[in-house]
Amino acid sequence: LAKTTQPISMDSYEGQEVNITCSHNNIATNDYITWYQQFPSQGPRFIIQGYKTKVTNEVASLFIPADRKSSTLSLPRVSLSDTAVYYCLVEADDKIIFGKGTRLHILP
Amino acid sequence: DGGITQSPKYLFRKEGQNVTLSCEQNLNHDAMYWYRQDPGQGLRLIYYSQIVNDFQKGDIAEGYSVSREKKESFPLTVTSAQKNPTAFYLCASSPTGYEQYFGPGTRLTVT
């Protein structure tokens, strides 16, 4: 399975756009890129998934360049409640490997 | 009201005792998973099952056992052979293997 690398932590302020980048240099042809959000003492929650170019839903956008070796999760106008750990995963064959994620801290 | 449930939320056991954590889903998902999470760490896969009566070991299966007799249920037993069982345990299910739906978790403390 492809390994992912993302920043350990990030700080931002309320109302700003936050971009979290994940690198996955060894991504395979059939791998999708998925992001999860986890609050303390809760299970992770699916945010968004994509294969290439751009995907947008009501929560976030996911940007994937043509070579698919990285991806960027974009959270528009964050609020304090977006403080959480964000995991980038590359998935295939029904098995997921979670890394340590990016701990995002939103400041007032 | 569809979802995935885990019980209990908190569990305390004495060292040397086996303990079984419950995971039930009514989402009609074929695949189910068990993860362990230690403080400040990501999730590590213990066992997963893609179909009833079949399951595979994940990355840290030693000291754990599972069964999948029904589609809705995937209980995890933490045996006395697990050397460091205190952790947050998360169960998940999936219709496709890609998007997983997680339960609320069980925090197990063994003393």
Decide if B88 and A41 are in contact by the 8 Å CB cutoff.
yes
**Distance between CA B110 and CA B12 in Å, rounded?**
6
A73: nearest Cα among A96, A27, A104: A104
CA distance B43 to chain A (A): 5
What b/e sequence results for A18-30 when a residue is b if at least 16 CB atoms lie within 10 Å of its CB, and e otherwise?
A: bebebebeebeee
Decide if B97 and A41 are in contact by the 8 Å CB cutoff.
no
Give the mean pLDDT of B94-99: 76
pLDDT at B102: 94
Decide if A32 and B107 are in contact by the 8 Å CB cutoff.
no
The single-letter code of the amino acid at B94 is S
Neighbours of A100 (CB within 10 A): 14
**Distance between CA B111 and CA B25 in Å, rounded?**
30
Q: What is the DSSP string of B39-101?
A: TT--EEEEEEEEETTEEEE-TT-TTEEE--SBTTB--EEE-TT-S---EEEEEEEESSSSS-E
pLDDT at B12: 94
Q: Is residue B54 scored above 90 in pLDDT?
A: yes
Of B48, B90, B98, the CB nearest to A91: B98
Tell me the average pLDDT of chain B: 92
pLDDT at A95: 63
**Distance between CA A18 and CA A35 in Å, rounded?**
14
Decide if B50 and A94 are in contact by the 8 Å CB cutoff.
yes
Of A32, A43, A91, the CB nearest to B92: A43
**Distance between CA B25 and CA B6 in Å, rounded?**
9
Of A44, A95, A97, the CB nearest to B102: A44
**Distance between CA A12 and CA A15 in Å, rounded?**
9
Token pair of B103, please? 């339960």
Segments in chain A below pLDDT 50: none
Which chain A residue shows the shortest CA-CA distance from B48?
A95
Decide if B102 and A43 are in contact by the 8 Å CB cutoff.
yes
